A and B are shown apart, each in its own frame.
Chain A
Amino acid sequence: MQIEGSCPRTQRELIELEFIEHRTKILDIAAFLDRFDRSVEHNANDDFRIKAFREALKALNSYEFGRVERIQMLLSDVSSELRAERDGQSAYGAAKESEQ
Protein backbone atom coordinates (compact mmCIF):
# COMPACT_ATOMS: atom_id res chain seq x y z
CA MET A 1 0.00 0.00 0.00
CA GLN A 2 1.50 3.33 -1.07
CA ILE A 3 -0.16 6.69 -0.55
CA GLU A 4 2.58 9.31 -0.81
CA GLY A 5 3.31 10.12 -4.47
CA SER A 6 1.15 7.27 -5.82
CA CYS A 7 -0.79 9.50 -8.23
CA PRO A 8 1.38 10.25 -11.28
CA ARG A 9 -0.23 13.68 -11.89
CA THR A 10 0.91 16.84 -10.11
CA GLN A 11 -1.63 18.80 -8.08
CA ARG A 12 -1.56 21.54 -10.74
CA GLU A 13 -2.29 18.97 -13.48
CA LEU A 14 -5.15 17.45 -11.43
CA ILE A 15 -6.74 20.87 -11.05
CA GLU A 16 -6.47 21.54 -14.78
CA LEU A 17 -7.87 18.09 -15.64
CA GLU A 18 -10.56 17.54 -13.01
CA PHE A 19 -11.57 20.74 -11.20
CA ILE A 20 -14.56 21.60 -13.42
CA GLU A 21 -15.90 18.03 -13.26
CA HIS A 22 -15.83 18.03 -9.45
CA ARG A 23 -17.10 21.61 -9.21
CA THR A 24 -20.19 20.34 -11.05
CA LYS A 25 -20.58 17.44 -8.63
CA ILE A 26 -20.42 19.61 -5.52
CA LEU A 27 -23.02 22.00 -6.99
CA ASP A 28 -25.28 19.01 -7.67
CA ILE A 29 -25.03 18.01 -4.00
CA ALA A 30 -25.83 21.57 -2.90
CA ALA A 31 -28.80 21.67 -5.28
CA PHE A 32 -30.10 18.36 -3.92
CA LEU A 33 -30.02 19.73 -0.36
CA ASP A 34 -31.73 22.98 -1.45
CA ARG A 35 -34.39 20.93 -3.27
CA PHE A 36 -34.85 18.87 -0.11
CA ASP A 37 -35.48 22.13 1.83
CA ARG A 38 -37.96 23.36 -0.81
CA SER A 39 -39.91 20.13 -0.72
CA VAL A 40 -43.70 20.37 -0.69
CA GLU A 41 -43.80 18.34 2.51
CA HIS A 42 -41.07 18.14 5.15
CA ASN A 43 -41.58 14.53 6.17
CA ALA A 44 -38.09 12.99 6.07
CA ASN A 45 -35.63 15.26 7.88
CA ASP A 46 -34.87 12.36 10.22
CA ASP A 47 -34.64 9.70 7.50
CA PHE A 48 -31.61 7.46 8.19
CA ARG A 49 -30.26 8.08 4.69
CA ILE A 50 -30.31 11.88 4.88
CA LYS A 51 -28.79 11.77 8.36
CA ALA A 52 -25.95 9.57 7.08
CA PHE A 53 -25.57 11.87 4.08
CA ARG A 54 -25.09 14.90 6.34
CA GLU A 55 -22.49 13.00 8.38
CA ALA A 56 -20.70 12.08 5.15
CA LEU A 57 -20.58 15.76 4.15
CA LYS A 58 -18.87 16.60 7.43
CA ALA A 59 -16.26 13.90 6.74
CA LEU A 60 -15.78 15.28 3.22
CA ASN A 61 -14.62 18.56 4.70
CA SER A 62 -11.62 16.90 6.39
CA TYR A 63 -8.06 17.83 5.43
CA GLU A 64 -6.82 14.34 6.29
CA PHE A 65 -6.23 11.59 3.67
CA GLY A 66 -8.68 8.66 3.72
CA ARG A 67 -11.92 10.56 3.17
CA VAL A 68 -13.46 7.94 0.84
CA GLU A 69 -12.88 5.07 3.24
CA ARG A 70 -14.22 7.04 6.22
CA ILE A 71 -17.34 8.05 4.26
CA GLN A 72 -17.83 4.46 3.09
CA MET A 73 -17.85 3.38 6.75
CA LEU A 74 -20.32 6.13 7.71
CA LEU A 75 -22.64 4.73 5.03
CA SER A 76 -22.13 1.08 6.08
CA ASP A 77 -23.81 -1.38 8.39
CA VAL A 78 -20.95 -2.09 10.79
CA SER A 79 -22.80 -4.66 12.90
CA SER A 80 -21.65 -8.27 12.66
CA GLU A 81 -24.91 -10.16 13.21
CA LEU A 82 -26.39 -11.95 10.22
CA ARG A 83 -30.00 -11.05 9.44
CA ALA A 84 -32.43 -13.76 10.52
CA GLU A 85 -34.13 -13.59 7.14
CA ARG A 86 -34.14 -11.57 3.93
CA ASP A 87 -36.05 -8.26 4.23
CA GLY A 88 -36.07 -7.53 0.48
CA GLN A 89 -33.67 -7.71 -2.44
CA SER A 90 -32.21 -4.21 -2.47
CA ALA A 91 -29.89 -2.24 -0.21
CA TYR A 92 -30.74 1.33 0.78
CA GLY A 93 -27.38 3.12 0.62
CA ALA A 94 -27.05 3.72 4.36
CA ALA A 95 -27.56 1.56 7.43
CA LYS A 96 -30.77 1.87 9.42
CA GLU A 97 -29.94 3.07 12.94
CA SER A 98 -31.26 -0.17 14.44
CA GLU A 99 -28.62 -2.09 12.49
CA GLN A 100 -25.62 0.00 13.51
Chain B
Amino acid sequence: MINYIDLHAHMVSRTTDDYHAMALTGCVAVTEPAFWAGYDRVAASAFADYFKHLTEFEPQRAAKYGIKHYTWLCLNPKEGEDRGLAREVLAIIPQFLDRPSVLGIGEIGLNRVTRNELATFIDHVELALEHNQLIHIHTPHLEDKYKGTKAIVETLASNSRIDPSRVMVDHVEEHTIRMVLEHGFWAGLTLYPMTKVSPGRAIDMLEIYGTERLCVASACDWGPSQPLAIPNCMFEMRRRGHSNQWIHEVVYNNPCRFLSQSPKFKFAPLEQPALVH
Protein backbone atom coordinates (compact mmCIF):
# COMPACT_ATOMS: atom_id res chain seq x y z
CA MET B 1 0.00 0.00 0.00
CA ILE B 2 1.25 3.47 -0.91
CA ASN B 3 1.18 6.42 1.50
CA TYR B 4 -1.12 9.27 0.51
CA ILE B 5 -2.15 12.80 1.50
CA ASP B 6 -5.80 13.87 1.43
CA LEU B 7 -5.63 17.53 0.49
CA HIS B 8 -9.29 18.20 1.19
CA ALA B 9 -11.07 16.53 4.12
CA HIS B 10 -13.59 18.11 6.52
CA MET B 11 -12.59 15.98 9.46
CA VAL B 12 -14.57 17.99 12.05
CA SER B 13 -17.65 16.28 10.62
CA ARG B 14 -16.13 12.77 10.55
CA THR B 15 -15.74 10.22 13.35
CA THR B 16 -12.51 9.12 14.98
CA ASP B 17 -13.10 5.72 13.36
CA ASP B 18 -12.56 7.46 10.02
CA TYR B 19 -9.09 8.62 11.12
CA HIS B 20 -8.39 5.01 12.10
CA ALA B 21 -9.49 3.68 8.70
CA MET B 22 -7.54 6.39 6.86
CA ALA B 23 -4.39 5.56 8.84
CA LEU B 24 -4.80 1.85 8.06
CA THR B 25 -4.97 2.64 4.33
CA GLY B 26 -1.81 4.79 4.25
CA CYS B 27 -2.98 8.33 4.96
CA VAL B 28 -0.13 10.34 6.51
CA ALA B 29 -1.58 13.86 6.33
CA VAL B 30 -4.84 15.69 5.72
CA THR B 31 -5.51 19.34 5.01
CA GLU B 32 -8.88 20.70 6.12
CA PRO B 33 -10.34 23.81 4.48
CA ALA B 34 -12.78 25.93 6.49
CA PHE B 35 -16.30 24.86 5.64
CA TRP B 36 -20.00 25.64 5.89
CA ALA B 37 -21.65 24.28 9.05
CA GLY B 38 -24.90 23.34 7.31
CA TYR B 39 -26.43 26.67 8.36
CA ASP B 40 -25.32 30.29 8.07
CA ARG B 41 -23.49 31.40 11.20
CA VAL B 42 -24.64 34.75 12.56
CA ALA B 43 -21.55 36.11 14.30
CA ALA B 44 -17.77 36.27 13.84
CA SER B 45 -17.36 34.72 17.30
CA ALA B 46 -18.77 31.45 15.89
CA PHE B 47 -15.93 31.45 13.35
CA ALA B 48 -13.37 32.15 16.08
CA ASP B 49 -14.59 29.03 17.89
CA TYR B 50 -14.44 27.06 14.63
CA PHE B 51 -10.88 28.23 13.85
CA LYS B 52 -9.85 27.24 17.38
CA HIS B 53 -11.34 23.79 16.80
CA LEU B 54 -9.51 23.46 13.46
CA THR B 55 -6.14 24.54 14.86
CA GLU B 56 -6.21 22.93 18.31
CA PHE B 57 -8.56 19.98 18.77
CA GLU B 58 -8.46 18.45 15.29
CA PRO B 59 -4.63 18.18 15.01
CA GLN B 60 -4.60 16.37 18.37
CA ARG B 61 -7.34 13.94 17.30
CA ALA B 62 -5.50 13.16 14.04
CA ALA B 63 -2.12 12.78 15.76
CA LYS B 64 -3.45 9.83 17.79
CA TYR B 65 -3.58 7.92 14.49
CA GLY B 66 -0.24 9.12 13.19
CA ILE B 67 -1.90 11.54 10.77
CA LYS B 68 -0.63 15.13 10.51
CA HIS B 69 -3.54 17.58 10.34
CA TYR B 70 -3.21 20.95 8.57
CA THR B 71 -5.88 23.55 7.92
CA TRP B 72 -6.98 26.53 5.81
CA LEU B 73 -9.02 29.45 7.16
CA CYS B 74 -11.78 31.60 5.67
CA LEU B 75 -15.47 32.34 5.63
CA ASN B 76 -16.83 29.69 3.26
CA PRO B 77 -18.37 30.74 -0.11
CA LYS B 78 -21.81 29.60 1.06
CA GLU B 79 -21.68 32.42 3.64
CA GLY B 80 -20.01 34.96 1.35
CA GLU B 81 -23.29 36.69 0.57
CA ASP B 82 -23.31 38.47 3.94
CA ARG B 83 -20.75 41.23 3.36
CA GLY B 84 -20.98 42.60 6.91
CA LEU B 85 -20.24 39.21 8.46
CA ALA B 86 -17.50 38.59 5.90
CA ARG B 87 -15.71 41.79 6.91
CA GLU B 88 -15.92 40.82 10.60
CA VAL B 89 -14.55 37.32 9.94
CA LEU B 90 -11.77 38.62 7.68
CA ALA B 91 -10.72 40.88 10.57
CA ILE B 92 -10.18 37.95 12.96
CA ILE B 93 -8.44 35.53 10.57
CA PRO B 94 -4.95 37.15 10.87
CA GLN B 95 -4.73 36.31 14.57
CA PHE B 96 -4.85 32.59 13.61
CA LEU B 97 -2.50 32.64 10.60
CA ASP B 98 0.69 32.13 12.63
CA ARG B 99 -0.57 28.89 14.17
CA PRO B 100 1.67 25.94 13.20
CA SER B 101 -0.91 23.96 11.21
CA VAL B 102 -2.40 26.82 9.15
CA LEU B 103 -1.28 26.56 5.50
CA GLY B 104 -3.25 29.42 3.97
CA ILE B 105 -6.62 30.90 3.04
CA GLY B 106 -9.37 28.53 1.90
CA GLU B 107 -11.60 27.16 0.72
CA ILE B 108 -12.68 30.48 -0.75
CA GLY B 109 -14.56 30.94 -4.01
CA LEU B 110 -18.14 31.13 -5.22
CA ASN B 111 -21.33 29.20 -4.51
CA ARG B 112 -24.31 30.65 -6.41
CA VAL B 113 -22.03 33.08 -8.26
CA THR B 114 -23.43 36.35 -6.90
CA ARG B 115 -21.94 39.83 -6.82
CA ASN B 116 -21.48 39.72 -3.05
CA GLU B 117 -19.84 36.28 -3.19
CA LEU B 118 -17.32 37.59 -5.72
CA ALA B 119 -16.59 40.65 -3.56
CA THR B 120 -16.01 38.41 -0.52
CA PHE B 121 -13.78 36.14 -2.62
CA ILE B 122 -11.67 39.12 -3.73
CA ASP B 123 -11.34 40.30 -0.10
CA HIS B 124 -10.01 36.87 0.88
CA VAL B 125 -7.51 36.90 -2.00
CA GLU B 126 -6.25 40.30 -0.85
CA LEU B 127 -5.88 38.95 2.70
CA ALA B 128 -3.86 36.00 1.39
CA LEU B 129 -1.59 38.29 -0.64
CA GLU B 130 -1.11 40.65 2.29
CA HIS B 131 0.01 37.76 4.52
CA ASN B 132 1.85 35.75 1.83
CA GLN B 133 -0.47 32.74 2.20
CA LEU B 134 -1.23 29.86 -0.15
CA ILE B 135 -4.78 29.93 -1.56
CA HIS B 136 -7.23 27.03 -1.78
CA ILE B 137 -10.29 27.63 -3.96
CA HIS B 138 -13.73 26.00 -4.01
CA THR B 139 -15.50 26.07 -7.37
CA PRO B 140 -19.32 25.93 -7.42
CA HIS B 141 -21.53 22.88 -7.79
CA LEU B 142 -23.32 21.40 -10.79
CA GLU B 143 -24.79 23.96 -13.23
CA ASP B 144 -22.90 26.80 -11.50
CA LYS B 145 -19.46 25.23 -11.90
CA TYR B 146 -18.58 26.45 -15.40
CA LYS B 147 -19.74 30.03 -14.87
CA GLY B 148 -18.22 30.24 -11.37
CA THR B 149 -14.87 28.72 -12.34
CA LYS B 150 -14.65 31.10 -15.29
CA ALA B 151 -15.35 34.10 -13.03
CA ILE B 152 -12.73 32.93 -10.51
CA VAL B 153 -10.05 32.26 -13.15
CA GLU B 154 -10.67 35.62 -14.87
CA THR B 155 -10.57 37.48 -11.53
CA LEU B 156 -7.26 35.88 -10.53
CA ALA B 157 -5.73 36.21 -13.99
CA SER B 158 -6.41 39.95 -13.96
CA ASN B 159 -4.42 40.38 -10.72
CA SER B 160 -0.69 40.59 -11.53
CA ARG B 161 0.25 39.96 -7.89
CA ILE B 162 -1.14 36.41 -8.03
CA ASP B 163 1.40 33.63 -8.54
CA PRO B 164 -0.76 30.83 -10.01
CA SER B 165 1.60 28.13 -8.72
CA ARG B 166 0.53 29.10 -5.17
CA VAL B 167 -3.17 28.61 -5.92
CA MET B 168 -5.14 25.34 -5.90
CA VAL B 169 -8.43 25.52 -7.83
CA ASP B 170 -10.40 22.59 -6.50
CA HIS B 171 -13.35 20.51 -7.74
CA VAL B 172 -12.44 20.77 -11.44
CA GLU B 173 -14.41 18.63 -13.88
CA GLU B 174 -14.22 17.86 -17.59
CA HIS B 175 -15.52 21.28 -18.66
CA THR B 176 -13.35 23.38 -16.31
CA ILE B 177 -10.03 21.55 -15.96
CA ARG B 178 -8.48 22.98 -19.13
CA MET B 179 -9.02 26.66 -18.25
CA VAL B 180 -7.53 26.10 -14.78
CA LEU B 181 -4.39 24.29 -15.97
CA GLU B 182 -3.84 26.62 -18.93
CA HIS B 183 -3.65 29.58 -16.54
CA GLY B 184 -0.93 27.85 -14.50
CA PHE B 185 -2.97 27.02 -11.39
CA TRP B 186 -2.97 23.71 -9.56
CA ALA B 187 -6.19 21.75 -10.07
CA GLY B 188 -8.00 19.41 -7.68
CA LEU B 189 -10.12 16.41 -8.67
CA THR B 190 -12.70 15.66 -5.99
CA LEU B 191 -13.73 12.04 -5.45
CA TYR B 192 -17.20 12.82 -4.14
CA PRO B 193 -20.20 10.65 -5.01
CA MET B 194 -22.89 12.11 -7.27
CA THR B 195 -22.06 15.83 -7.30
CA LYS B 196 -18.36 15.73 -8.25
CA VAL B 197 -16.26 13.02 -9.96
CA SER B 198 -16.01 9.24 -9.71
CA PRO B 199 -12.60 7.52 -9.52
CA GLY B 200 -13.03 6.45 -13.15
CA ARG B 201 -13.57 10.03 -14.40
CA ALA B 202 -10.74 11.39 -12.25
CA ILE B 203 -8.36 8.83 -13.75
CA ASP B 204 -9.61 9.68 -17.25
CA MET B 205 -8.68 13.35 -16.70
CA LEU B 206 -5.27 12.39 -15.28
CA GLU B 207 -4.63 10.26 -18.37
CA ILE B 208 -5.73 13.00 -20.78
CA TYR B 209 -4.10 16.02 -19.09
CA GLY B 210 -1.12 14.30 -17.42
CA THR B 211 -0.28 14.30 -13.73
CA GLU B 212 1.46 17.67 -13.55
CA ARG B 213 -0.27 20.13 -11.15
CA LEU B 214 -3.17 17.72 -10.53
CA CYS B 215 -4.22 16.27 -7.16
CA VAL B 216 -7.04 14.05 -5.97
CA ALA B 217 -8.93 14.45 -2.67
CA SER B 218 -12.00 13.09 -0.91
CA ALA B 219 -13.62 16.33 0.34
CA CYS B 220 -15.31 14.03 2.87
CA ASP B 221 -17.72 15.94 5.08
CA TRP B 222 -21.16 15.45 6.66
CA GLY B 223 -22.77 14.67 3.29
CA PRO B 224 -22.70 11.33 1.45
CA SER B 225 -18.92 11.10 1.02
CA GLN B 226 -16.02 8.72 1.52
CA PRO B 227 -13.02 9.30 3.77
CA LEU B 228 -11.36 6.38 1.95
CA ALA B 229 -12.01 7.85 -1.49
CA ILE B 230 -8.27 8.15 -2.27
CA PRO B 231 -7.35 4.50 -1.53
CA ASN B 232 -10.45 3.48 -3.50
CA CYS B 233 -9.20 5.58 -6.41
CA MET B 234 -5.72 4.06 -6.04
CA PHE B 235 -7.30 0.62 -6.42
CA GLU B 236 -9.03 1.79 -9.61
CA MET B 237 -5.75 3.25 -10.89
CA ARG B 238 -4.08 -0.16 -10.50
CA ARG B 239 -7.05 -1.87 -12.14
CA ARG B 240 -6.71 0.59 -15.04
CA GLY B 241 -3.09 -0.54 -15.43
CA HIS B 242 -1.14 2.33 -13.88
CA SER B 243 2.15 1.78 -12.05
CA ASN B 244 2.83 2.35 -8.36
CA GLN B 245 5.16 5.20 -9.36
CA TRP B 246 2.39 6.94 -11.37
CA ILE B 247 -0.02 6.56 -8.43
CA HIS B 248 2.62 7.83 -5.98
CA GLU B 249 3.10 10.99 -8.06
CA VAL B 250 -0.62 11.76 -7.91
CA VAL B 251 -1.51 10.87 -4.31
CA TYR B 252 1.69 11.82 -2.50
CA ASN B 253 4.25 13.80 -4.47
CA ASN B 254 1.87 16.29 -6.06
CA PRO B 255 0.22 17.33 -2.77
CA CYS B 256 3.75 17.67 -1.32
CA ARG B 257 4.85 19.86 -4.25
CA PHE B 258 1.94 22.26 -3.81
CA LEU B 259 1.71 22.29 -0.02
CA SER B 260 5.44 22.49 0.72
CA GLN B 261 5.35 26.03 -0.65
CA SER B 262 4.27 26.74 2.93
CA PRO B 263 7.24 26.34 5.29
CA LYS B 264 4.86 24.80 7.84
CA PHE B 265 4.21 21.72 5.70
CA LYS B 266 6.66 19.04 6.81
CA PHE B 267 6.43 16.43 4.03
CA ALA B 268 8.55 16.46 0.85
CA PRO B 269 8.26 14.55 -2.43
CA LEU B 270 9.91 11.11 -2.42
CA GLU B 271 11.52 9.48 -5.45
CA GLN B 272 10.01 6.10 -4.61
CA PRO B 273 6.69 5.35 -2.92
CA ALA B 274 7.06 4.62 0.80
CA LEU B 275 5.26 1.46 1.82
CA VAL B 276 2.84 1.60 4.73
CA HIS B 277 4.34 0.19 7.96
Contact = CB atoms under 8 A, between A and B. Distances in A.
A43 B68 CA distance: 52
A61 interface: no
Interface in B189-220: 200-201, 204, 207-210
Interface in B126-150: 140-147, 150
Contact of B117 (A6, A8, A86, A93): A86
10 contacts: A68-B201, A76-B143, A76-B175, A77-B144, A77-B146, A85-B114, A86-B112, A90-B141, A93-B142, A93-B143
A44 interface: no
Chain A contact patch, size range: 20 to 34
Interface of A: 1-3, 6-9, 13, 17-18, 68-69, 72-73, 75-80, 82-95
- SS of A interface (majority): loop
Contacts of A1: 178, 208-210
Contact of B145 (A6, A7, A76): A76
Contact of A82 (B118, B201, B209): B118
B32 interface: no
Contacts, number: 93
Nearest to A49: B143
Interface of B: 36, 78, 81, 111-118, 140-147, 150-151, 173-175, 178, 200-201, 204, 207-210, 239-242
A100 B13 CA distance: 36
Identify the 9 closest CB pairs spanning chains A and B, nearest first. Answer: A8-B241, A72-B175, A91-B142, A76-B146, A91-B141, A6-B207, A86-B81, A83-B114, A68-B174
A85 B114 CA distance: 6
Contacts of B209: 1
A82 B145 contact: no
B116 A86 contact: yes
Contacts of A90: 141
Nearest to A79: B147
B143 A86 contact: no
B111 A77 contact: no
